[in-house]
């Protein structure tokens, strides 16, 4: 009986400590929200130790250039986030819509139709559909049905986005649907929709346009994503691409951007870090067609595992003294132990928290289901990031990061991770400069005095341009 009481006592104590920790974080975030001009260390006054002193050379790098010279303008960011949907639609390109009740399930459905595509969708309204299109409104986003779901953070974040444009929504296209893709998969749909992540493909188009243009609606060269261009025989004018990607919005910012603010407290100077690169992560990642086909064949187990990219990074660096790569979760894709080169290999390693990973000079950040969730804090740290060139982009504009300027490029399966870490040790000054530029990128995005205002202006413009693709009234 005494033992049970002690267990209950310690359980209650642990819960109180957990709640107190959460309260401190909420208060910290609230203070930062009240004053967006707080510097990168302002929310950490509750920690026992001061944050890692800023690298003096980073201060010089910041002073040497203006933000407008090193970071995309509002207009450029709108183009990146809008992707395929930046251009102005003509009458044929409009997405026509109507709402109907379906007798089969007695529910309200949204019917979408595109004349240029000859395609249509029927979507149940006010329902979260994972990795598919969902029709939402402000009231639904605040409802318990949405906020308590697995994707609840999507609901809360997108509601904040809508708050910047409430007047726009009420005055223009009041009945036009708000389409959101909940999930990590960068699916392609033929209708405009908001999403956390999309496939890359905008960098070339961004660089070819005049950054000082003030036209309210610019038609960009087609296509803007990695798809073939479709033209009509009579006019040779480009039509809407067959597959188009979503409009990137500030969704699920807590998971991807939340740890950034904590980074300075746990970071240490470069010369105190280990001379190694580290990778810790679950074996996530959307299976490519090549991988799915291989999993169904009679390939040797080791060959199958080498097709899973995160798994391959671990296997290719098993015996490296410069790369510490381990899995923190197999997710049923790989057994706990696998045969490899005549021995039994255990891929699982001890999980490492933020502070532990910041002990290393290089952080390996391969994509998982989408962009690596730790990429933002890794870029903001004093360590240098090693990663394959991005194939996905989010609010962080990963596709605009430049290899050897913001990060060190790596072969997608990690075959050259050891060699890239050796380069870091042989060229430490250059590696530190890459890390500083990456830090400055994240600082310009999140902590510059204009950052919060820019985000609000951009979010409003994204919604305005989104509504341009729907006619004023429902129907065809």
Per the DSSP assignment, residues forming a β-bridge with 323 are 277
Of residues 472 and 71, more confidence is placed in 71
Residue that wins the pLDDT comparison between 248 and 202: 248
At 149-173, the pLDDT tens digits run 777 888 888 888 888 777 666 544 4
Evaluate if residue 354 carries a pLDDT over 90: yes
CB-facing half-sphere around the CA of 24: CA atoms within 13 A: 12
> Which tens digits make up the pLDDT trace of 445-458?
999 999 999 999 99
> CA triplet 146, 147, 153: central angle to 5 degrees?
110
Determine which of 203-207, 279-283, 312-316 has the lowest per-residue pLDDT on average.
203-207
Question: Of 225 and 105, which is predicted with more confidence?
Answer: 105
Q: Is the pLDDT of residue 474 over 60?
A: yes
Please tell me the predicted confidence (pLDDT) of residue 102.
Answer: 74
What pLDDT does 336 receive?
73
Q: Give the closest residue to 407 by CA, choosing from 398, 416, 419, 415.
A: 398
Among 222-226, 242-246, 342-346, 408-412, top mean pLDDT goes to: 408-412
Residue 414: left (phi > 0), alpha (psi -120 to 50), or beta? left
Most confident of 104-118, 198-212, 224-238: 104-118
For residues 49 and 132, the model is more confident at 132
How many angstroms separate the CA atoms of 440 and 144, rounded? 39
- Core vs surface per residue 271-294: b (16+ CB within 10 A) or e: eebeebbbbbbbbbbbeeeebeeb
For the cut 60, the answer to whether the pLDDT of residue 237 exceeds it is no
Considering 73-87, 288-302, 374-388, the range whose residues carry the highest mean pLDDT is: 374-388
Give 313's pLDDT tier (boundaries 50, 70, 90).
very high
User: In the structure, what pLDDT confidence band is assigned to residue 3 with cuts at 50, 70 and 90?
Assistant: low
92 CB-near residues (< 8 Å, 6+ apart)? 115, 116, 239
Q: Are 263 and 358 in contact (CB under 8 A)?
A: yes
- Tell whether the model's pLDDT for residue 421 goes beyond 90: yes
Architecture of the domain delimited by 255-446: 3-Layer(aba) Sandwich (3.40)
Element spanning 343, H or E: strand 343-346
- Can the peptide bond before residue 223 be classed as cis, meaning omega within 30 degrees of 0? yes
Are the C-beta atoms of residues 242 and 404 closer than 8 Å to each other? no
**What pTM does this model have?**
0.78
Per DSSP, 345 falls in state: E
Mean pLDDT value across residues 459-476: 81
Per-residue model confidence as pLDDT tens digits over 356-405: 999 999 999 999 888 898 999 999 999 999 999 999 999 999 999 999 99
According to DSSP, the β-strands at 323-329 and 274-282 are parallel
Domain range annotation of the chain = 1-34, 72-252+451-467, 255-446
Q: Cα separation of 131 and 184, whole Å?
A: 7
Q: Yes or no: say if 398 and 375 are a contact pair by the CB < 8 Å rule.
A: yes
């Amino acid at each position: 009986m005494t033992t049970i009481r002690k267990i209950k006592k310690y359980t209650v104590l642990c819960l109180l400590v957990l709640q107190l920790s959460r309260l401190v974080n909420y208060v910290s975030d609230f203070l930062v929200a009240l004053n967006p001009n707080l510097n990168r260390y302002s929310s950490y006054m509750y920690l026992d130790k001061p944050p890692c002193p800023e690298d003096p050379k980073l201060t010089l790098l910041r002073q040497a250039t203006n933000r407008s010279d090193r970071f995309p303008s509002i207009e450029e960011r709108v183009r990146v986030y809008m992707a395929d949907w930046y251009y102005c639609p003509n009458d044929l390109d409009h997405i026509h819509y109507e709402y109907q009740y379906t007798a089969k399930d007695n529910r309200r459905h949204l019917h979408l139709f595109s004349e240029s595509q000859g395609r249509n969708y029927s979507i149940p309204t006010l329902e979260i559909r994972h990795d598919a299109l969902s029709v939402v409104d402000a009231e639904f986003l605040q409802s318990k049905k949405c906020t308590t779901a697995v994707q609840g953070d999507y609901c809360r974040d997108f509601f904040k986005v809508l708050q910047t444009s409430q007047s726009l929504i009420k005055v223009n296209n009041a009945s036009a649907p708000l389409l959101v893709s909940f999930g990590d998969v960068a699916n392609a749909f033929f209708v405009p929709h908001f999403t956390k992540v999309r496939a890359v493909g905008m960098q070339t188009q961004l660089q070819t346009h005049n950054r000082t243009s003030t036209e309210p609606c610019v038609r960009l060269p087609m296509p803007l994503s990695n798809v073939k261009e479709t033209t009509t025989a009579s006019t040779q004018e480009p039509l809407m691409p067959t597959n188009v990607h979503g409009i990137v919005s500030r969704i699920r910012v807590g998971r991807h951007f939340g740890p950034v603010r904590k980074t300075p407290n746990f970071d240490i100077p470069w010369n105190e870090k280990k001379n190694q690169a580290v990778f810790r992560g679950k074996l996530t990642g959307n299976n490519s067609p090549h991988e799915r086909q291989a999993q169904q064949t009679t390939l040797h187990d080791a060959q199958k595992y080498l097709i899973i990219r995160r798994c391959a990074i671990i296997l290719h660096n098993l015996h490296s003294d410069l790369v510490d790569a381990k899995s923190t979760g197999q997710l049923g894709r790989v057994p706990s132990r696998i045969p490899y080169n005549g021995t039994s290999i255990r891929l699982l390693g001890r999980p490492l928290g933020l502070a532990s990973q910041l002990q290393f000079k290089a952080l390996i950040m391969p994509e998982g289901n989408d962009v690596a969730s730790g990429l933002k804090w890794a870029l903001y740290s004093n360590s240098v990031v090693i990663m394959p060139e991005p194939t996905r982009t989010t609010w962080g504009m990963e596709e605009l990061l430049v290899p050897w300027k913001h990060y060190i490029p790596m072969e997608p399966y990690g075959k050259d991770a050891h060699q890239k870490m050796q380069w870091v040790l042989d060229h430490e000054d250059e590696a530190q400069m890459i890390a500083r530029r990456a830090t400055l990128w994240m600082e310009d995005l999140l902590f510059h005095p204009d950052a919060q205002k820019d985000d609000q202006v951009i979010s409003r413009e994204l919604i305005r341009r989104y509504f341009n693709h729907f006619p004023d009234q429902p129907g065809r």
